[in-house]
Amino acid sequence: MNHRAPTKANSYPIRQRQEPQQSRCASFPIVGVGASAGGLEAFTQLLKALPSRTGMAYVLVQHLDPTHESALTELLARATEMPVKQVTDGMLVEPNCVYVIPPNVDMIVSQGILRLTPRTQTRGRPMPIDCFLRSLAEDQRSNAIGIILSGTASDGTLGLGAIKGEGGITFAQDEKSAKYDGMPRSAIAAGCVDFVLPPDRIAEELARICEHPYVTHSPSSKISALIPDSDPHLENILLFLGMANKIDFSDYKPATVKRRILRRMTLHKIEDVKKYVHFLQHNPAEIEALCEDILIHVTSFFRDPGAFEALKTEVFPTILKHRSPEEPLRIWVPGCSTGEETYSCAISLLEFLGARRANIPLQLFGTDLSQAAIEKARAGFYPESIAADVSPERLQRFFAKVEGGYRINKTIRDICVFARQNLLQDPPFSRIDIISCRNVLIYLGAVLQKRVMPVFHYALKPRAFLMLGTAEGILGTASDLFELMDRKHKIYCRKSTPARLHFDFVASQYPLQAGNLGIDNAASRKSEGGVRLFELNKEADRIILTKYAPVAVVINEDMEVLQSRGHVGLYLELSPGRANLNLLKMAREGLLFDLQAAISEAKKKDAPVRKENVEVERNGELKGVNFEVIPLKAAATKERHLLIMFEDAISPVRPESAETMATAVRLGKGGKQERTNRQTIQLKQELAASKRYLHSLVEDKEASNEELQAANEEILSSNEELQSTNEELQTAKEELESTNEELHTVNEELHNGNSALTQANNDLVNLLSSVNIAMVMLGRDLQIRRVTPQAEKLLGLIPTDVGRPITNVRPNIDVSDLEQMIVEVINTVTVKEREVRDREGHWYSLRVLPYKTLENMIEGAVLTLVDINVLKNNLEQIKQSHDQLAAERAKLEEVLRQMPCGIMITEATSRKLILTNKQAEDILCHPFPPAPDIEHYDQYRAFHPDGLPYAPEEWPMARSLATGEVVTDEEIEYLREDGTHVFLSVSCAPVREREGRIIAAVLTFFDLTHRKGAEEVLRSTEKLAAAGRLAASLAHEINNPLESLTNMFYLLNQDPTLGDKARQYANMANAELERVTHMTKNMLSLYRESQSPVDLKICEVLDSVLELYGPTIRSGKVTVEKRYDSAGEIQGFPGEMRQVFANLIANALEALGGEGTLKLHVLASRDLRNPKASGVRVFVADSGSGIPAERQRRIFEPFFTTKGEKGTGLGLWIAQGIVRKHKGYIRVRSTTQPGRSGTCFSIFLRNQTMRAKPSDTAVRLDKSA
């Protein structure tokens, strides 16, 4: 037997496996999908190909980073129309929905509800896929579907095995479409995958499966609805299995067998049982696959850890307590599947024994009906996911880590023997101390369970132990064989039964041929109502015998009645006294002598003897009876038996009686009557005498019979003794057969081991002879074990050097400390690598690696020498080329650094920026990261001269890359990240290969911003100069009439006839005329600049500017506060100074808005930048609203204005230029704080002699500065 029920993993709390029980499955399938690396792409392909209304629920389990939030839900929601939800604890699973596991949790499903627990597991890598799929198998059973997609390692393998064991369907992504094939390959290698397909094909298969009756029916009704118990095709399927595998499944649990049949039908797209029978007839491989499905191979290490702890605390100590030292401790695990249970028992036993292990012989036997499962158990290789069930300490102690998983170490493997065995047909082991048969009986019917228990009772020693699964128990009469010791873990102790149990192991026979099981024959059985033919015959015989069969008894040679049929009381009755079933003592009066005579005659002739019309007294009357004695022969026994059948005679009146009556009528009643009476009396006396005589003969015979009976009893006693001796001999024979079976099993193990060893040796020899690498294998003593032909040539070895220390060999390579390297590798278990040369200067890569056994023991070292001469030369050439390239690149970078323009080079295929210079970053105020996309950074910040933004394809770089266009001096306005504008002159040209293909583009650009500003200043200056010339012309034209008016008022004032009143008005008019004249003179002086600097006083300049703005000041509520601590004498250009202060005072008055205070302060001061220099410091302050801090940093930039469209943004920039030309500087302080707001400009001007300027206006001089 090889059944293994799915069990829980240590990482999640779900119930123990029980069958049968009421289904808790949902009414729709739940699909568990697991993936790791590359899973997002596979998930997306699967969901895109899935219909949105399959009636299934999909739960996606992905290995996620526990330290970051997952965006998997949002990404997958784009691939399907189904709702995609991230799981929260307690979420109910609904059909046509997709559920995604959140990070850093373990998830299970319980009664259709998803449960989350924080991930606390710290040993090894987490196995969230196994955790969920195992719980899905436990909870949904045949309604579970498992899928493993791209990923590394082996997570999900155990989970798929659990789902398949419960009758679910499993998928794995094929290796071609999987980005990482580790997880799918592990599941496929474990044999637990039904379909291997790419994700889109998996979706198609799911869409098909969702319409199959096995899926569409509810779990509680689908088995009985699809395969009724009376379906004759079920019998045909069982007969097919029996003939092909010699296994009778008729007494297995029907629900289990039906579920497996329906699962296979679903896989082959068959919906009718009749069609599946036809499919089995033509596909023998499917019979084997169905048999493997019924023989469930799902198991795990340390299922129910409490049971193994109970072995350590209750069972092992009891067994060892009264054990002799030389007696081996024997454990048998029937139905061991792939060996996990057997190895778990072995590990627990070794942990319990500890240091006593060396003194106790151990033998563990694992048997199973499946040869494939036995082969896996013998190999002892298991996936990495067993770490969920085996602790790190056990993995390190009892397993060896190999590629793709773990292998059981030799210590455990040597004490475990595995063999194929049919528990119900093959002889069992004997003298067993413990039998662990967990979760096997749950799949067997009551008949098979009754047959198994005596087998276990025979195999166990007195007071030995039997351990069953938590859902199993001892039933019926088997309770007389075992005593319950531990109810929780179902541990029983063998009872010592007084009578020996008899059982035989006879293989089931299947006399029917394959041709007799056709579809037509099955149809004929169906037309008969589905009842077996022999059952009909049996029922018919019972009715006929009841109604028409004669009364009969069966007796043995001792005349003892063994069986009776019918109403035998008409012919036999119990004699008074002690009950006795002897036929002769039970015969009614008149029947004894004829019956005894007929029995003797039948024995003598060995043929039937019949007697008729025998008078028997019954209720005071004589009745005629016929009987027949028939000898019986039984093939199974040598003892003779007789069948005696009785019946009433048809004519009860004898002929003699009729004749006597007729004679009496003729003779009358006289003397004749008397004579007749005397004769009658005489006859009666003779008859009585005869009866007495016969009675004495009978008594004598009975006495002889009693003597013979006594002798027979003595013979029987002797026979019993002989039988007891024979039984002892039979027991010894059975023990010898069991021992022989064990020796045969061990021999098979050794044979398999020798075959594997021979194969491995052949593979190694061929590998070493064919590999083109110099390789030497050394032992711990540095002796040479194996060498390759290349090593012989390179190291100068010969075949006879094998077995010699390598230190005795003088190699052809230059490595003086070879022995030291080898010893260090063996002692430190590290890899040493070095580049060495031979005597001819040829280069090799020398590697020394530790030689590890399967048990991870270091037994030597391995030397390899790989020819790297070509690689070394190529590397040297590459290095030289790299150095040359680096030098050329350095030159190019230096050229780029020295160029006054910005440069960008973009690669054509990737559209990535591969090179820029510092000027490009400075001009654009943007640090470019390595390989940015130039279009991504710049295309949406460039504008045409008309203000329209550049489209992506209009960017010069894009045009050159796309069409090969050469762009020259294209003017572009660019918006920097800080919000400032820069004007560029852009040129771009493509770079082509020899074939003409464009591989890159080079873009250069110059900053035109200052030139643009200078042009704008020049235009403004020209406008101001024109306005000045116009104003000077007007002032000149006005001066002539003003001079005439002045002369006229002078003459009028000289007139003696002029009255006082008129003279007063004339004086007033003359004063106003002088004021107008003064203003025109100031205007002329403002726009008439001298060619050389002159001595001037700042106070006078300020007063002249104030006089210009007098009307504005007087029109509002502006208060001017002047404080002249110094006259402010400097050497400079008065017109430029008036322009500076006019700009500052105009800005101050505008900031005051007609109300506030304007302060002017002039004082002598030291230069804060150069304390040795002195000069004049001027403050112009207002109590206006102030300038925000973010604008203060930019008010001296050209074209920056705080006045909107009213300002040009050039006033302060020009003022700053004039001040700098006079070797001074200007600063600003401002605050917007309520109650204290205001702005103050501070100007420092040095006392120094200035050189003459060329003939131009002040503004143009500033431009040139």
**Residues tagged active-site:** 36, 63, 155
State the CB neighbour count (10 A cutoff) for residue 545: 12
How big, in percent rounded to 5, are the helix, strand and coil portions of the chain? 45, 25, 30
Span between the terminal Cα atoms of the chain, in Å: 104
Dist CA 336 CA 746 (whole Å): 17
CB contact at 8 A, 1141 and 1259? no
Cα dihedral 208, 210, 215, 218, rounded to 10, equals -150
Nearest in space to 459 (alpha carbons), one of 394, 503, 416 = 503
In this structure, the chain runs to a length of 1265
DSSP reduced 3-state for 1234: coil
Q: Which tokens in the block code for residue 489?
A: 């873990």
CB contact at 8 A, 1205 and 1181? no
Dist CA 1175 CA 1224 (whole Å): 9
Dist CA 1113 CA 1107 (whole Å): 9
- Mapping DSSP onto H, E and C, the string for 120-150 reads CCCCCCCCHHHHHHHHHHHHHHHHEEEEECC
Nearest in space to 127 (alpha carbons), one of 301, 11, 38 = 11
The H or E element that residue 1077 is part of is: helix 1060-1087
Supply angle C-alpha 1004, 1010, 1011, rounded to 5. Answer: 80
HSE toward the beta carbon, residue 626, CA cutoff 13 A = 9
Preceding peptide of 1134 cis, ω within 30°: no
- Chain centroid to CA 299: how far? 19
- Mapping DSSP onto H, E and C, the string for 1089-1153 reads CCCCCEEEEHHHHHHHHHHHCHHHHHHCEEEEEEEECCCCEEEECHHHHHHHHHHHHHHHHHHHC
Dist CA 792 CA 802 (whole Å): 11
CB contact at 8 A, 993 and 1000? no
Instruction: Give whole-number Cα distances, 634 to 219, 628, 639, 640, 641, in Å.
Output: 51, 19, 8, 8, 9
Cβ neighbours for 40, distance < 8 A, ≥ 6 positions apart: 62, 72, 75, 76
- The residue with tokens 């008005």 is 1065
Q: Which tokens in the block code for residue 704?
A: 């002889």
Supply angle C-alpha 68, 70, 76, rounded to 5. Answer: 165
Strand order of the β-sheet with 1155-1166 is 1117-1124, 1155-1166, 1174-1182, 1238-1246, 1225-1231
Backbone torsion region of residue 803, taken as left when φ is above 0, otherwise alpha when ψ lies between -120 and 50, otherwise beta: left
CB contact at 8 A, 148 and 36? no
Nearest in space to 286 (alpha carbons), one of 247, 232, 245 = 245
Nearest in space to 69 (alpha carbons), one of 86, 56, 83 = 86
- The residue with tokens 């340390």 is 302
Sign, CA dihedral 67-73-76-78, equals: negative
